[in-house]
Structures are given as structure tokens and as C-alpha cells.
Structure 1
Amino acid sequence: MAKRRSTRPAPQSKLKKYGRILGKVILWFIGITFFWVLALKFINPPITFLMLQRGIEQKAAGKKWKIEKEWIRFEDLSDNLKKAAIAGEDVNFLKHWGFDFKAMENAFEKNQKSKRVIGASTISQQTAKNVFLWPGRSYIRKAFEGYFTGLIELLWSKERILEVYLNVIETGDGLYGAEAASWNYYHKSAVSMTKQQAALLVAVFPNPRRWSPAKPTSYIYRKQRLILRNMNRLGKLPF
């Protein structure tokens, strides 16, 4: 009597099938994200996940939905603000390709000795996080951040990265970008921001809902002085 053949697929064929599916998913992901990043080289991001989250949090707390933002072109932004952002957030912005490994190493060493966590994200990393990703801390989100950082460094110019960064960054409760912040705190456009004003605004970037240029603490004033010193060391920017 002949033995019946099993109709159950072999484990190896299952692996090949799943491998093909995974390969297609990865290719689709790379293709979609590549063209997404390429499109935003020319199109200004209308909104970010952080803006939506903050708006939902405001509504949940019984507050009014508030998203104040106004895009301002790179060439119209104050040179003082451009220099302050680099001096305060990423002094090697013009030299690296998205990641400042030396700064990461220094931050890691300092974090081992201090209770206060020091970040080492570059302007490119922060832009990738703000524009393409959801807020939060996880290894998965950090991996995506690294991927999108590489893409914007590949497809965008340094000018475009800095332009997007200064237009989408959270600058206060319901405030996003330098222009909205400048009108709110200094009652004028970011076009004419002075060195002192630019340095003071950048000093609160790490936590704009806790700190404000309108009511600077002694700590914020110390950061402002440090940023001003770094601005002087930077000299003239190439753009």
C-alpha cells in the first residue's frame, strides 16, 4: 500500500515565502520614504505628529486647540538665528553627515556621572524626528530617526535642513517655528532678531514648555551667554 504524501509545506519553503514578503515590505518602505523625503525638499511640511499630539493633549486638558506657526524662508531668517541654532544645538552641524559621534561619546560619559541626562542629537536628527516621526523614546523610534537622518542628509542641503528645523521646532505652548516665537516673545518678525534675542530663544529649545524667553531663569541666561560665545567662535556662515 502506497504511503500518502504530506500536503503540509516544508519549513524551508515557508521561510522563503516569508522572506519574499519581508523583502517586498522593505522595498516598499524604502521607496515610499525616499520619495516622501524627496518631496519635502521642495514642499514645506504642513503639520507634524508633535503638533497633532500637543493639540490633542490641549483638548484633553480642556484647553483651546492651539497651533501657531508661520513659515519663513531660509533667506529671510535672521543670520543671528541661524548662527545661534548651530552654536546652541549642534556646533558641528556644517561638518558632520547627520551624526556627531564625538558629542554622543561625551554625552554618554557625562550621563554616567550625572543624574541629569544630556542629549547629543544633531540638528539633522532633531529635524528627522520632528518632521517624520512620532514623539517618544524607544529603540524602534531611534532606529527610524537614524534612517530618516541619513535620508535628509543625502537628499537635502544643509540650508534646507536648518530651514525646516527652525520652522517646525516647538518654541512654546502651541507655538512652532521661529516666526511664531519671535512675534509672541519679541513682537517682531524673526527676520530682524538680534544676537541676544536669538541666543535666548535657542537657549529654551530643549524644553520650551518649561522655559520661556519672556521669563528667563538664571540657568537660561547662562545658556544664552554660552551660545553667544559659541556664535562668536563660529564666524561667518557659508550661506
Structure 2
Amino acid sequence: MIARAAAPRRISRWLGIFFKAIGGFVILSLLLVALYRFVPPPVTLTMLLDPNGITKDWVSLDEIDPDMARAAIAAEDSRFCSHHGFDTVAIAQALRHNASGRRIRGGSTISQQTAKNVFLFQGGGFIRKGFEAWFTLLIEAIWGKRRIMEIYLNVAETGLGTYGVQAGAIRYFHHGAGRLSRAEAARIAAVLPLPKKRAAVAPGGFTRRYGNSIASRIRVVSRDELDSCLR
């Protein structure tokens, strides 16, 4: 009888701990997202785990040449201004592409990448994706598009130990992100998917072709006002 009575108490105790942990996580995540609405994230897990060190220099979105944001939209997320964090069209296209057995392609939006870069870590599979979805919903609701783009352009890895487009522009072109040409912005955007393997200076092969393609698409982003939420 004692053993039978103890079992429900243990279950109840563990359920209580579980729900308290969930509640604590929700409160902490809400506080962090609300804080970063106004304060730049000081550091990320990706930066802390980078054996190449950390070089970064925060600048506001107003101090970054508009073509840099357009380049990011052209390269990473053409429907950035029209979706609410998740691009269902891109996800469906990625699933069909990956099912064909070709090279794996992702369907992550800039919002999802920002959530991952700021609050989480690289890799991790479906568990990390679940947390990423939660933080994506929060930043879309609390930050808005301009702040998401601002933080993305300041925390994205742009080279070995280099984070943000300001540090990337200085590293590659020896001037700040406010003076980027269309071609330079496109080259930085071309580096973003594989910053440890690509360089924006004298790029060759795929990186050069990809950069040229992004430069052409920047005009489309501007013409079709695909960056309207940033203006």
C-alpha cells in the first residue's frame, strides 16, 4: 500500500518540476527577447565557441548601406517582408529538392537564422529546430522586421572569427558597412552560408558566380520593393 501511494506522489513531483522548468524557460526567453529589442546582444554561443576568436562591431541598420539588407534578402529570404517568420513556400521547395536525393537545401528564413544565431547554437537537429521555432515566433512578435534585420546583420558570421557586416566590410574592403557598393554587399551575402570556407575578396568559382547573381537580384529587391518593411 505504501509503495502504491508513493508512486503517484513521485509522478506528481516530477510533473511539478517539469512544468516549473517550462514556465521558467518561457519567462526567461520572453525577458531576453524583450531586452534585445532595445539592447544589442553582447555575445552569442556561436561566438563563444569559435576557436578563431571574436571580431565584431555593432552598427545600427541606419548606418548600414541599404544594399546590404537587400543583398541578404536576395540571397537568403526573398519573402522576408511578407512572411511571419516561416516561409512555407521555401520549406515546401526544400522538402521536394531534398527528397530528390540531391544536395540538402534548407528553407530557413532570416528570422529563423537570427533566432538560431542569437539564442541557440549551430547544429542540434529537430530539438534545436523546435526551440528555433519558438524564438522565431517571439522575435517576429516583439522585435519586428527592422530589428530582426538589424540584429541579423550584426551577429551573422562573415568570416573566420568575424561577426557582423561592419566587421566583414572592414576585413574584406577596409571601410565600414555604410560605404558598401552593390558588388561588395553581394559578396558578403555570398559568404554568409559558409563563412569559414568562402572569402569576399577575389572570390573564385561558385562564390564569384553566386555573388554576381546576388548583385543582379539586389536590383530586383529594390525595384519590386521586397525590402519595403525596412524603409
Is the TM value for this pair above 0.5?
Answer: yes
Quick one: which amino acid aligns to residue 20 of structure 2?
K
**Aligned with 1:138 (options 108, 117, 125):** 125
The residue that corresponds to 1:32 in the other structure is 28
Q: More deviation in 131-140 or 146-155?
A: 131-140
Distance across 2 between alignment mates of 1:145 and 1:153? 12
The residue that corresponds to 1:51 in the other structure is 47
The residue that corresponds to 2:91 in the other structure is 104
The residue that corresponds to 1:201 in the other structure is 188
Distance across 1 between alignment mates of 2:40 and 2:4? 53
Deviations 1:30-73 (A, max 9, x none): 11110111101111011110111113xx4xxxxxxx31100011
Quick one: which amino acid aligns to residue 28 of structure 1?
G
Distance across 2 between alignment mates of 1:35 and 1:137? 24
**Aligned with 1:230 (options 209, 212, 217):** 217
Distance across 2 between alignment mates of 1:111 and 1:200? 26
- Say which SS state the counterpart of residue 124 (structure 1) adopts: helix
**Aligned with 2:142 (options 144, 148, 155):** 155
Distance across 1 between alignment mates of 2:10 and 2:174? 64
* Identical amino acids, percent of aligned pairs: 37
- Say which SS state the counterpart of residue 171 (structure 1) adopts: strand
Distance across 1 between alignment mates of 2:101 and 2:200? 26
- Say which SS state the counterpart of residue 96 (structure 1) adopts: coil
Written as runs of structure 1 = structure 2, the 5 A alignment for 1:82-93 is 82-93=69-80
The residue that corresponds to 1:62 in the other structure is none
The residue that corresponds to 2:11 in the other structure is 15
* Aligned length in residues: 226
Written as runs of structure 1 = structure 2, the 5 A alignment for 1:60-139 is 66-139=53-126
Distance across 2 between alignment mates of 1:76 and 1:221? 26
Could you list the runs of 5+ residues in structure 1 that have no partner in the other structure? Answer: 59-65
Runs of 4+ in 1 over 6 A off after TM superposition: none
Q: CA deviation at 1:129?
A: 0.5
Distance across 2 between alignment mates of 1:7 and 1:168? 54
TM-score normalised to the size of structure 1?
0.89
Q: CA deviation at 1:25?
A: 1.6
Distance across 1 between alignment mates of 2:97 and 2:4? 57
Distance across 1 between alignment mates of 2:213 and 2:90? 17
- Say which SS state the counterpart of residue 9 (structure 1) adopts: helix
Q: CA deviation at 1:225?
A: 2.7
| Residues 227 and 6 of structure 1: CA distance in aligned 2, closer, same or farther (over 3 Å) | same
Could you list the runs of 5+ residues in structure 2 that have no partner in the other structure? Answer: none
Deviations 1:89-131 (A, max 9, x none): 1100001111111101101111222432111111011101110
Distance across 1 between alignment mates of 2:19 and 2:25? 10
Distance across 1 between alignment mates of 2:221 and 2:189? 16
